[in-house]
Structure 1
Amino acid sequence: MIVSALAAGICLGAAAAPAIARTGAKAADRFDGTWSVEVITESGSCDRAYRYGVIIQNGQARYAGGGDFTVSGRVQPSGAVRATISRGDAAAQVVGRLGSEGGGNGTWTTSGSASCKGRWNAERRG
């Protein structure tokens, strides 16, 4: 199911971060490491909840398990997250914030063949 697979990929957006300009690179590096992200569906036909690993390195995020999602987004030096995760005709907009204390949270909304929305929570693991 594409919607389930897309919602599974939402965690990528929780920390999605293309390379930050050199001026902000040091500040963005404070989010580098391994994160565990819980994705919870609050409305729509997506599966209820997921938990996945995300690795952030040099401000760039990637799914710890591989995958076939397209991720574009950014984590600002302040920790603000804005990203899009897509697969086929399904896409999710992700917004939120990572904190320097090793946690983060935000919301997500899908578009495309099915409409879902929910929230995400992240914890730094290493």
Structure 2
Amino acid sequence: MKARGFAVLALTSLIPGFAAIEPARAASFDGPWTVVIVTQSGNCDAAYSFPLRVSGGRVVSTGGAIFNGRISGGGGVSVAISSGGSSGRASGRLSGASGSGRWSGILNGARCSGRWEAHR
């Protein structure tokens, strides 16, 4: 698996618009996470892996990508990601020490989509 800006693209957008975050419950997801993004459609690399951090229910980049997203108290994930000319959105759910969902975006001009998985 490759750690690249595409992974940034995929998790860059965990879809905004979730209900208000319940701070105590959202904080239960705080800490470091590893995210693997798998391409299922489009002309992008097969998979990407990268680290990120959740702090106070917010998704925070630990690399070169810009993350803008939140984790709801119930574990709902909504994130937008950008890096250079790549951008994307991801949504899904965390539960305990793992999570999964769907992503889509444009990486270096190629439109791609697929699934993501996260673990602590």
Post-superposition offset of 1:90: 3.0
Task: Look up the SS of the partner of 2:45 in the other structure.
Answer: coil
Q: What is the deviation of 1:6?
A: 3.5
Structure number with the higher helix fraction is 1
The change in CA–CA distance for 1:94 and 1:102 in structure 2 (over 3 A counts) is: same
Residue 51 of structure 1, aligned match among 37, 45, 49? 49
1:1-126 matches, within 5 Å, as 5-10=4-9, 12-13=11-12, 24-64=22-62, 66-67=63-64, 69-99=65-95, 101-111=96-106, 113-124=109-120
Report how far residue 89 of structure 1 moved.
4.2
The secondary structure found in structure 2 opposite 1:77 is coil
Unaligned runs of 5+ in 2: none
Cα deviations by residue, 1:59-88 (Å, 9 ceiling, x for unpaired): 222233x20x33222211111111211234
8 Å Cα contact 2:14-2:92 kept in structure 1: no
SS for the counterpart of 1:46 is coil
* TM-score where L is the length of structure 2: 0.78
Change (3 A) 1:70 1:34: closer
Number of residue pairs aligned between Structure 1 and Structure 2: 115
Asked whether the equivalents of residues 59 and 71 of structure 2 are also in contact (C-alpha less than 8 Å), the reply is no
CA RMSD in angstroms, aligned pairs only: 2.8
Q: Which has the higher strand share?
A: 2
Q: Which piece of structure 1 moves more, 52-61 or 29-38? A: 52-61
Relative to the length of structure 1, the TM-score reads 0.75
